[in-house]
A and B are shown apart, each in its own frame.
Chain A
Amino acid sequence: MKTKRTQWTWISIGILFVFAISLVLMSCRQKPKVAARAGAAEAAIATYVAPGDLDEYYLFYSGGHSGQIFVAGMPSMRHLATIPVFSPYPSTGYGFDKETKAMLGGFNWGDAHHPSLSETNGDYDGRWLFVSDNANNRMARIDLRDFKTKQILGPISNVSGNHCSSFVTPNTEYVLAGSRFSVPLPKGSYSGIENYATTYKGIVAGIKVDPNTGEMNLGWEVMMPPFDYDLGDAGKGVSDGWGFWSSYNSERATGKLEVTATQKDRDYIAAVNWHAAEKAIADGNFKMVGGTKVIDPKDAPGVVYLIPCGKSPHGVDVSPDGKYIVGSGKLASITTVFNMEKVLTAIQNKDFKGDEDGIPVLNYDHVKDAEVNVGLGPLHTQFDDKGFAYTSLFVESAIAKWKLGTWEVVDKIPVTYNIGHLAAAGGDTMHPDGRYLVALNKLSHGRHLNVGPSQPESSQLIDITGEKMRLLYDAFTEPEPHYAQVIKADKLHPIEVYTKEENKDPNAIWDVKDASVKATGSDVTVKMLAVRSSFEPNKIEVNQGDRVTIYLTNIEQTTDELHGLGLSEYNINVVVDPGETKTIEFVADKPGVYPYYCTNFCSALHQEMQGYLLVKPKS
């Protein structure tokens, strides 16, 4: 009896043991704690802009392959406007009138990559916003007086893949440009891909900006080895007078670059002394390539140097005082900090370790101050007002905050997900504001209502006033911001109407009695005005095949009284702001009667604001 009881005791213990072990194993299966949504109320208050109140900052996002610039208010992150730059945009009639059509130069899109605000003494002056086109090698200037694209320069000769652009020098002397995709030069010439390493050429360039008008012209170009020039920044303070470009593919490889261009441990940052470049051009020390003055570094020593930088660097960012050049090797886990004083000393002492196509290469160890262990996949760095740097970590999906000088990483915040660039308020100027940081994330999965496979991009607003970074808000944009600029709202003074006095268009009319339709042979000229709630004239009679030109003036002088002219089945929609005149050109090739009407809702009688284009068929 006793034996039996002992036996069952043992069996029970055994069963309990199996359970216990299973429980222990299962409890080991720990999962990371999901970050609590702590501080939601504080974050809500920090980002809440009450109805009728205004945001404190403007946020200018590049719109990537949408070809546009998005404008948001910060800290609310509300989208306020879209400024069309490289793509037609029916909302504002951009790309439909003669003037903007000419500016687009026949292209239907561009890849708006990096916006840069104009600067005076190294700080934003609120005059212009420049943005580069990675696809069609152009540079655009938006006037912040009216938030309109005023000039598109290019396609810039010899520049191919204008990605490492549009960073401005401290007094907006230059906007930087360059080639991400080296090609045989001049463009249009042919050489087989097997000759890539020798006959394909890269370019870095400075686009000269007129200090009064903002008008851009090609300043100088430097012929470079066929690396992929990726990003840039202009020197300031200690490094004023220099432009920096990061590059990958110093392997000079072709084919599957994911493999072939990632084999070297170091690529280069190109440093151009733009005063020396100006001098070389002035001295006639250049070649004409593609109708442009191009400096060959072999013939012009002192113009360009190469700084080795840890693996396939993306961002090259200059600290507010200009002393440190921060190069982020996107395939490394460190960010490298170069000391400009050491760079200048090395150049002075000709302390070079070799050359690439005649361009001196500096010794990494002699010019580097620190390798900061920021984390995986560092891409791009911004700065605050307290001596901290913020580096985006693509692979890790995080931002690292680190101290300039001690090189200590003091904080890290996860972002959702896969951050590309980041933009701090004044974060690339000599006097950063240091209040807000925006993480421009590539993936947004699961952070918003599902809108199908084409998902929006995510921008996260982060408070950087405290020791710890604090996530405040998730905002979403259309594809695809690559970089942004954040400027204090009081630095801008935009207009709301174009005054009659400043409208210099000789074809503008301001009175109904001046409205006219005049035919000269098969050319029909219409002087039309739009005012609440009619177009004058409200009928246009032409013959099939006539070339029609309409000069449309919105004679309103009141804020927000926009009118649009949509012409049915003629693929035309032009929007005129108060006081603005635009030119519409088309051939009346389809016979019949076509209504035109106001597309931009204007008044109680908006529906009545309409007219007819009557096209008499050829007999």
Chain B
Amino acid sequence: MMSTNEEGTKDKKTVKQFLKKETAFFELPLSIKSRVALLLAVASLIPAFLFPLWNMSFYSNQYTDGLQMHIYVYQLEGGKTHDRDDLREINSLNHYIGMRPLLESDFSEFGWIPFAIGGLMLLTLRAAVLGKMSNVVDVFVLFTYFGLYSLWSFYHRLYTYGHNLDPLAAIKVKPFTPPVFGEKVIANFTVYSYPDIASYALFAFSFLVLLGIFLSRKSK
């Protein structure tokens, strides 16, 4: 009994100490270097609006150059050459297996993702200006949540498209999920799905935010 009580007190002490330490950590001021890293982080998000987030390409004997689909944070774009509109082509082909056409208007993500990224940029700027560790941690946590949710949402989209096939389709295929990352053979197509520059920008952002935390991790 005694010993338990003693241990309990000890635990309380440890927890208190830990919380104190943590609170102290969150209260840390940001060094100039950290603030610069955060400003760079904000800048690193600019390409996220300019370049595709993800690319999917579809190769077959008929399309040795591959049909291209670029997913931006705000739009869906097919590869376009003077004589081919890839998104239209992908939708024409998908209709045989009863897949819903990929329509930009069906993706609510294109509305909220740019908004979320803009919000993150503002929060990061705020953290750089206010110069407090807790603000940076907030940004990082929010960003991680945003990143994971977006990935899940992307996967869920693909799953839904591949699993809600029109039962009246001319060609019946087993429901499937197009690949989120990597290579997959679907009917006569080999599909490749890989992140692109906007994703690298998001990745660089998270690194720079972590760097901001890292550079001010100890009180001077």
Chain B interface, >50% SS class: mixed
A28 in contact with B194 given A396-B61, A397-B60, A443-B62 (CB within 8 Å)? yes
Q: Which residues of B contact A258 (CB under 8 A)?
A: 170
Task: List the 7 closest pairs (A to B, CB-CB), nearest first.
Answer: A397-B61, A262-B170, A414-B61, A417-B62, A396-B188, A29-B194, A397-B62
The contact string, 1 if C-beta is below 8 Å from chain A, for chain B 170-214, is 111000000001110001101010110001100110010011001
Instruction: Decide: A18 and B188 in contact? CB cutoff 8 A.
Output: no
Q: Which residues of A contact B124 (CB under 8 A)?
A: none
Q: Within residues 1 to 43 of chain A, which ones have a CB less than 8 A from any CB in chain B? A: 7, 10-11, 14-15, 17-18, 21-22, 25-26, 28-32, 34
Q: Which residues of B contact A14 (CB under 8 A)?
A: 207, 210-211, 214
Q: How far is the CA of A263 from the CA of B169 in the complex (A)?
A: 8
Q: How far is the CA of A482 from the CA of B143 in the complex (A)?
A: 59
Interface: A376 (CB within 8 A):
yes
User: Contact residue range for chain B?
Assistant: 20 to 34
User: Contact residue range for chain A?
Assistant: 35 or more
Candidates B59, B194, B204; contact of A25 at CB < 8 Å? B194
Instruction: Decide: B190 and A32 in contact? CB cutoff 8 A.
Output: yes
The contact string, 1 if C-beta is below 8 Å from chain A, for chain B 104-137, is 0000000000000000000000000000000000
Instruction: Decide: B61 and A416 in contact? CB cutoff 8 A.
Output: yes
Q: Chain B residues in contact with chain A, CB under 8 A? A: 55, 57, 59-62, 64, 66, 83, 168-172, 181-183, 187-188, 190, 192, 194-195, 199-200, 203-204, 207, 210-211, 214-215
Candidates B60, B183, B187, B203; contact of A30 at CB < 8 Å? B183
How near does chain B come to A51, taking the closest CB pair, in angstroms?
A: 34
A7 in contact with B215 given A31-B57, A31-B59, A263-B168 (CB within 8 Å)? yes
Instruction: Decide: A259 and B62 in contact? CB cutoff 8 A.
Output: no
Instruction: Decide: A31 and B66 in contact? CB cutoff 8 A.
Output: yes
How near does chain B come to A447, taking the closest CB pair, in angstroms?
A: 11
The contact string, 1 if C-beta is below 8 Å from chain B, for chain A 240-271, is 00000000000000000011001100000000
Instruction: Decide: B203 and A18 in contact? CB cutoff 8 A.
Output: yes
Q: Which residues of B contact A259 (CB under 8 A)?
A: 168-170
Q: Which residues of B contact A15 (CB under 8 A)?
A: 207
Interface: A137 (CB within 8 A):
no
Q: Which residues of B contact A32 (CB under 8 A)?
A: 59, 64, 190
Q: How far is the CA of A21 from the CA of B195 in the complex (A)?
A: 12
Q: How far is the CA of A29 from the CA of B68 in the complex (A)?
A: 13
Q: Which residues of A contact B170 (CB under 8 A)?
A: 258-259, 262, 331
Q: Which residues of A contact B171 (CB under 8 A)?
A: 262, 331, 395
Q: Which residues of B contact A396 (CB under 8 A)?
A: 60-61, 188
Instruction: Decide: A29 and B61 in contact? CB cutoff 8 A.
Output: no
